[in-house]
């Protein structure tokens, strides 16, 4: 059947401005890091993307190396743009990144102008797009001058290949310098994509202050700590979980007794709030308005529906926040 988005898609989603820019992002965005690659079932990915858009998720986050194999997530999304989303392109924020290994040799990795621009050209071809809405430097390059990397971001905007630029995995100090360079070039930094969750609070130690002081938005990846902040690991490691897989960003060693005990206590707070743990974890990341959007992943439609339902209760009492802090420090 021909896909037609539901008319109510904007009625319940919350949208936040990214820093001081004109760009607004949904409070919940969908990342295609996992489960949308060539090894995955296309129809499942298609159902998830359709449902996400119907729920008001307008931002779809990709990168050149997402798959596996690398590039296949962009190819899958490009197919969706042709078959389902063609008439909705201007309602979407589509982002991509470059910075990790994509092809052999010295020009297929890190942050040189050669690599970033070549990679974006390839990404545009895979998705069948003239431009992406946001293009990121995926990680800082210790061997390339920051001026060159930021200059490449400025170049792709001036070429019309990207509307906005962002950075990911940059420290507070690196971010502050990147902001200065991009301001001089006339292409302001609009967004930073750091990892952030209840179990990973490093951005509170400086980075959030830099972003706020410079009017830069943020989108938190891994807000559920690769699934740790869900009910999945409370009673051990399920055989179908990421931690059970031989190659995963979440290893069995990370699912310690100490972490599980914290997760169980956090789950008690969530239940008292009328949420599941994942919903509370997303609401917590979005608390206080410092984070523009929480970037979720999904393997099935029901996960997207549950995560979006987190927006039904974004308010925390001071007592709840103190209790959560005490649990995390224990």
Q: Confirm if 115 and 108 have CB atoms less than 8 A apart.
A: yes
Using left for φ > 0, alpha for ψ between -120 and 50, and beta otherwise, residue 278 falls in alpha
**pLDDT tens-digit profile, the chain (330 residues):** 799 999 999 999 999 999 999 999 999 999 999 999 999 999 999 999 999 999 999 999 999 999 999 999 999 999 999 999 999 999 999 999 999 999 999 999 999 999 999 999 999 999 999 999 999 999 999 999 999 999 999 999 999 999 999 999 999 999 999 999 999 999 999 999 999 999 999 999 999 999 999 999 999 999 999 999 999 888 766 655 555 444 455 556 678 889 999 999 999 999 999 999 999 999 999 999 999 999 999 999 999 999 999 999 999 999 999 999 999 998
Location of structure tokens 């029901």: 302
Question: Which is nearest to 255 in space by CA: 234, 285, 280?
Answer: 234
Question: Which is nearest to 62 in space by CA: 42, 32, 89?
Answer: 32
Q: Confirm if 194 and 222 have CB atoms less than 8 A apart.
A: no
Go through the domains of the chain in sequence order and give each one's CATH number.
Answer: 15-227+284-313 (3.20.20.100)
Tell me how far CA of residue 328 lies from CA of 197, 201, 265, in angstroms.
Answer: 11, 10, 9
- Which tens digits make up the pLDDT trace of 65-81? 999 999 999 999 999 99
**pTM, rounded to two decimals:** 0.94
- Which tens digits make up the pLDDT trace of 185-200? 999 999 999 999 999 9
Q: Confirm if 227 and 241 have CB atoms less than 8 A apart.
A: yes
């Amino acid at each position: 059947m021909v896909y037609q988005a539901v008319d109510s898609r904007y009625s319940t989603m919350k949208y936040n401005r990214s820093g001081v820019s004109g760009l607004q992002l949904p409070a919940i965005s969908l990342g295609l890091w996992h489960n949308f690659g060539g090894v995955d079932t296309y129809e499942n990915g298609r159902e998830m993307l359709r449902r996400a858009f119907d729920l008001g998720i307008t931002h779809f986050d990709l990168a050149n190396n997402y798959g596996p194999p690398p590039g296949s997530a962009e190819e899958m999304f490009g197919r969706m743009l042709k078959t389902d989303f063609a008439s909705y392109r201007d309602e979407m924020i589509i982002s991509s990144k470059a910075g990790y290994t994509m092809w052999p040799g010295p020009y297929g990795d890190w942050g040189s102008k050669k690599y970033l621009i070549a990679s974006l050209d390839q990404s545009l071809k895979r998705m069948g797009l003239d431009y992406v809405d946001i293009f990121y430097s995926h990680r800082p390059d210790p061997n390339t001058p920051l001026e060159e990397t930021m200059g490449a971001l400025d170049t792709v905007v001036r070429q019309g290949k990207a509307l906005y630029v962002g950075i990911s995995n940059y420290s507070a100090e690196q971010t502050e310098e990147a902001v200065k360079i991009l301001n001089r070039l006339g292409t302001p930094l609009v967004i930073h994509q750091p990892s952030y969750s209840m179990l990973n609070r490093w951005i509170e130690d400086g980075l959030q202050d830099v972003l706020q002081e410079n009017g830069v938005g943020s989108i938190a990846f891994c807000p559920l700590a690769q699934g740790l902040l869900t009910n999945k690991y409370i009673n051990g490691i399920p055989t179908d979980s990421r931690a059970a897989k031989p190659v995963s960003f979440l290893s069995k060693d990370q699912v310690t007794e100490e972490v599980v005990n914290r997760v169980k206590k956090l789950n008690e707070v969530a239940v008292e709030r009328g949420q599941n743990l994942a919903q509370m974890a997303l609401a917590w990341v979005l608390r206080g308005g410092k984070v523009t959007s929480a970037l979720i992943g999904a393997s099935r439609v029901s996960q997207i529906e549950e995560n979006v339902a987190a927006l039904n209760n974004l308010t925390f009492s001071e007592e709840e926040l103190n209790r959560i802090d005490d649990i995390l420090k224990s």
